[in-house]
Structure 1
Amino acid sequence: MKKSVEILGLPIISITEGRELGMSKTLLIDAKNGKVAAITIEDEDWYRGVKLIPYTDVIAIGDDAVTITNSENILKLDDAGDYEALLDDNIRVIGTKAITKTGSIQGKISELFIGDDGTIEKCEVTAPDGTTSEVTNDQISIFGKQVTVIDPTGEKKNELTPAAAHAEKMAASPAAAPAAPAAPAAKPEPQKAPEAPKAEEKPAPAPAPAAKPEPPKAAPAPAAPAAKPEPPKAAPAPQKPAAPAAPKVDPKQAAADKATEERHRRFLLGKKATRTIKMDNGIVIVEAGQDITEEVLQKAKLANKFIELSMNVQ
């Protein structure tokens, strides 16, 4: 399974001709079937029209290239009649709003995870607060041009069922509630305390001199040693084992991600933005028609708009 960002910007290699035929530019989405139908290519003759590779003709997608059998697998627009409707629809999925059928916006689709056969296995959703979650293929009802609709059934699996279980527990608790009143009955016992005054046999105060045990009150001093347990506060140190969480990052994966980002960066440099890209606070990252520079790429990365930028260049 590959992320879209791991596919875009890779060179297209013919393994029988030993040629580099261009670079993967965009994913052509078959929204009806929830699949990637083809990969569009940018080459030296890009100005002559769209070229694409049917996903079924892709041999493999590696860390450094997309391999196909030969250049004959590449279709020009005149030969891509089966894909013309999809090109007209131009559904990208990434950047669309993720919304439930009940009208609750979950965030925006920020990434696609694609299986070996081109199926969109799941989508990453970035909420307004920056947190991310994943929605699987069977939880997606519609891939639209501006909106991706999530099937409520999926929500029930993730949220409603646990709530229902909690509700059932709450429903069971009322039965126990009657027992609770029995506890308050014990409260009258404190009222028996007033009966203690009956024992106000003030002769008893004589035993009060038993205050001599007060010296034992010095025992509170030993309480000071209790302060010694403060060293155990060092217990937070055991939290340091959380540091091992860092090793969870696979160095090879990190290097591959960095290499992919670098390829993507080289691909974008010098291109022109096809539309104005803005930060969430409205600050313009790049105007439509403006060249993509290092400064633009840096701003886009900091604003989490790198993918949106990459999908709107020429």
Structure 2
Amino acid sequence: MKQSKEVLGKPIISIFAGKEIGKVKNFVINPDLRSIEFIIVQNDQWDFGIKAVPFKLVEGLGDYAVTIDSESAVIDLADIPIANELLSKNIQIKGTRIISRKGHHLGQISEYYFDPETGKILGCILDKPDAPSVLPEAAVITFGKEITVISDEGDQPLVSDEAFRNEKIETEPAAIEETTIAQEPVSSAVDELDLEELIGKTLSANLYDPSGELIAAEGSVITAEIVNQTKAMGSNKALELALKAAE
């Protein structure tokens, strides 16, 4: 479990190139999935466009850096329709007011916790140092641009930071197991259905294998051979191909 401030500003390292490709500038949040969808990359040498890494292609969020396989994991958000939609919503979570369904005001969110493996938002921190200050994600109805709406169930939805952390530590193994089981059919669906529809489209960026070798260059037409080769590399690489496919 991490807070967003623990990742913002950290360098992003390409494992296979062995170099820094930029820094974490911000997050793109999907309010429907309640998770971080993309990590926006800051690199002053890039002239235009908003570049980002899909959270699913992040290898690790360490104390020093964020790691990805290669620079090919970085995409232009202008090429991804869902990314443009999420950018227009501009959900930041931090700075929003918490309002209950019946109109009661609980305070303002100053920070949030998320799962470093999945990007899922786990809880929101309020600026209340002398009182329970963490709002569990389960109490949230809507993450909005200006207001986070919560349910009125329970007299006090806020818990102490210590109690919240302890609860997450105790439930973490079960949550990981549950997530793994739930994701298996999703990965299968990507491999068996979505990739077949990409044949005939072109690549908007270079595609590399896990060792850093070039599979297909930018502008190449996606063939059945490329699809099958990508499928064999697992769901993360399949997602990368889908994201880099252009009409």
Deviation of 1:83 (Å): 1.0
The one-letter amino acid of 2:119's match is: G
Name the counterpart of 1:121: 122
More strand by share: 2
Cα pair 1:7 1:61 within 8 Å, conserved: yes
Structure 1's 154 and 58: CA in aligned 2 closer, same or farther, altered over 3 A? farther
SS at match of 2:44: coil
Report Cα offsets for 1:84-104 as digits up to 9, x if no partner: 100111110100001111111
TM-score, length-normalised on structure 2? 0.60
Distance 2:27 2:47 in 1: 18
Name the counterpart of 2:90: 90
Name the counterpart of 1:23: 23
Q: Which has the larger radius of gyration?
A: 1
Deviation of 1:82 (Å): 2.7
Q: Which has the higher contact order (CA 8 A, sep 6+)?
A: 2
Name the counterpart of 2:45: 45
More helix by share: 1
Structure 1's 107 and 130: CA in aligned 2 closer, same or farther, altered over 3 A? farther
Distance 1:158 1:10 in 2: 30
Structure 1's 79 and 158: CA in aligned 2 closer, same or farther, altered over 3 A? closer
Distance 1:125 1:3 in 2: 13
Report Cα offsets for 1:144-199 as digits up to 9, x if no partner: 0000011112546669xxxxxxxxxxxxxxxxxxxxxxxxxxxxxxxxxxxxxxxx
Distance 2:44 2:158 in 1: 48
Name the counterpart of 2:153: 153
SS at match of 2:98: strand
Cα pair 1:124 1:132 within 8 Å, conserved: no
The percent of aligned pairs where both chains have the same amino acid is: 34
Distance 2:29 2:158 in 1: 27
Report Cα offsets for 1:195-226 as digits up to 9, x if no partner: xxxxxxxxxxxxxxxxxxxxxxxxxxxxxxxx
Name the counterpart of 1:100: 100
TM-score, length-normalised on structure 1? 0.48
The answer for unaligned runs of 5 or more in structure 1 is 160-314
Number of equivalent positions: 158
The answer for unaligned runs of 5 or more in structure 2 is 160-247
Name the counterpart of 1:190: none
- What's the C-alpha RMSD, in Å, of the aligned pairs? 1.9
